[in-house]
Amino acid sequence: MTMKTYRQALHDTLRAEMLRDENVFLMGEEIGVFEGSYKITAGLLAEFGEKRVKDTPIAEEGFTGAAIGAAMLGLRPVVEIMTINFSLLALDQIVNHAAKIYGMFGGQAKVPLVIRTPGGGGQQLGATHSQNIELYYAFVPGMKVVAPSTPADAKALLLAAIRDDDPVLFLENLALYNTKGEVPDEDRPAEIGRAKIAREGHDLTLIGYSRMAYIAKNVAETLAESEGLDIEVIDLMSLRPLDRETIINSVKKTHAAVVLEDDWLTYGIGAEIAATISDGAFDYLDAPVRRVAMAEVPMPYSKVLESAAMPTNDDVVSAIFQTLEAVGRRLKKVGQSHD
């Protein structure tokens, strides 16, 4: 085990995979000379040269599509799209081609492609630069979408994504890059399509992914201390496929669920999870499934408005308390931190 940041875990894994397999190469804007907008690829151009670390023009559709084509011939491109907002310019190539080629041609060509891209928000970047639109990809059959919340999972899921023969959208998060954790030194790829119980508990199931899984764990720990609550936290890790089994089993045990997401409420990932719980654990539920998500507006630049639009720890705590109240559970200090 080595203590490192999420950023370092990604960097080290990319490097190790490039050393292991010469078909693995990197492509994206500003990943070489500039060393990556968020410095994930720092030093890799110097080590591997321009053939393996390709700086591209600003041409998301062009280079993402080119990566798909290269993957069809057996290379294993790892594309970096500077932020998920700009992936919209490549949406056609990803949705109409990367996700379709294996099926549409009867399984004759595989697309072993990884698209790494960070989501974010909360940095006053305004409406076009603060979106969390991983859902667009999770919606599409043929895509795999993974979203680690810890440095260890970043490594395990990136290993899995690079070694996978399908297109994988690998969601990172601006707010997680500097977070730290123990990372195993050996290669243990995660299994894509599996969620993780990040914290065991009996009182309520708190579900999130990426930054929201990180927040879920923090809130659960805080409430364990302050309220003596025993909250189970599920880190989805994989948005497509979605591990419905783990969700259902947890709710059967806790009888209540709150879902956290960094995107908009309507038609969001939380809606899919709520529907899953309704289908698979209806009789076990003691309260409606609550979702905490962003306000449904194009994100304003103003700090005051942006803060109001983003879910906070207090919003999460208040949703948990209200759910437990609906269950009929008495709390020591209900409402104290949130009204």
Partner 1 sequence: MTDNALPTAKTTTAKTTTAKTTTAKSTTKKAATKRTPVKKAATAKVATAKVDGAQLVKFYRDMVLIRRFEERAARAYTEALIGGYCHLNLGEEAAVVGLMGALRDTDYLFTNYREHGYAIMRGIDPNRTMAELYGRVDGVSKGWGGSMHMFDMSHRLLGGYGIVGGQLPLATGAALAIQYRGLDEVVMCTMGDGTANIGAFHESLNIAALWGLPVVFVVINNGLGMGTTVAKASAEPEIYKRASAYAMAAERVDGLDPLAVLDAAQRAVASARAGKPFLLEVLSERLRGHSVVDPAKYRSAEEVAHLAQFDPVPNLAARLVKERILTAAEVHKIDEEQAARADAADAFAQASAQPDVSTLFDYNYATPVANDSRRLPGEALFATVARPTAEVTR
Cite the active site residues.
Answer: 60, 129
* Number of residues forming the site for ligand TPP (CB under 6 A): 6
Binding partner of residue 22 among partner 1, ligand TPP, none, CB cut-off 5 to 8 Å per kind: none
Q: Which of 12, 17, 60, 263 binds ligand TPP (CB under 6 A)?
A: 60
* Residue with smaller CB distance to partner 1, 121 or 142: 121
* Residue with smaller CB distance to ligand TPP, 75 or 89: 89
Cα separation values, 174 from 5, 84, 108, 286, Å = 12, 11, 37, 36
Across 192-210, b (16+ Cβ under 10 Å) vs e yields beebbebbebebbbbbbbb
Query: Interface with ligand TPP includes 127 (CB under 6 A)?
Result: no
Binding partner of residue 310 among ligand TPP, partner 1, none, CB cut-off 5 to 8 Å per kind: partner 1
Binding partner of residue 267 among partner 1, ligand TPP, none, CB cut-off 5 to 8 Å per kind: none
Cα separation values, 80 from 32, 136, 175, 291, Å = 11, 17, 17, 30
Question: Residue 78: what are its φ and ψ, rounded to 5°?
Answer: -115, 105
Binding partner of residue 57 among partner 1, ligand TPP, none, CB cut-off 5 to 8 Å per kind: partner 1
Look at strands 238-240 and 168-173 and give their pairing: unpaired
Is the backbone peptide bond immediately before 241 cis, with ω within 30 degrees of 0? yes
List alpha helices for the chain, DSSP H: 6-20, 44-48, 60-72, 91-92, 101-104, 134-138, 151-163, 211-227, 244-254, 269-281, 303-309, 313-327
- What is the spatial distance between Cα 254 and Cα 222, in angstroms, rounded to a whole number? 19
Binding partner of residue 127 among partner 1, ligand TPP, none, CB cut-off 5 to 8 Å per kind: partner 1
- What is the spatial distance between Cα 169 and Cα 113, in angstroms, rounded to a whole number? 8
Query: Interface with ligand TPP includes 297 (CB under 6 A)?
Result: no
Q: Minimum distance from CB of 60 to ligand TPP (Å)?
A: 6
Question: Residue 222: what are its φ and ψ, rounded to 5°?
Answer: -60, -45
Q: Minimum distance from CB of 118 to ligand TPP (Å)?
A: 12
Query: Interface with ligand TPP includes 19 (CB under 6 A)?
Result: no
Token reading at 132: 């969390």
Q: Minimum distance from CB of 95 to partner 1 (Å)?
A: 16
Q: Is 75 helix (H, G, I), strand (E, B) or coil?
A: coil
Q: Minimum distance from CB of 118 to partner 1 (Å)?
A: 15
Binding partner of residue 73 among partner 1, ligand TPP, none, CB cut-off 5 to 8 Å per kind: none
- What is the spatial distance between Cα 236 and Cα 133, in angstroms, rounded to a whole number? 16
Query: Interface with ligand TPP includes 86 (CB under 6 A)?
Result: yes
Residues of this chain that interact with partner 1 (CB under 8 A) are 29-30, 33-34, 37, 55, 57-62, 85-86, 89, 123-129, 265-266, 287-288, 290-298, 300-305, 308-312, 314-316, 318-319, 322, 326, 338
Q: Could you tell me which stretch among 82-90, 107-115, 153-161, 163-171 binds ligand TPP (CB under 6 A)?
A: 82-90
**Site of interaction with ligand TPP (CB under 6 A):** 29, 58, 60, 82, 86, 89
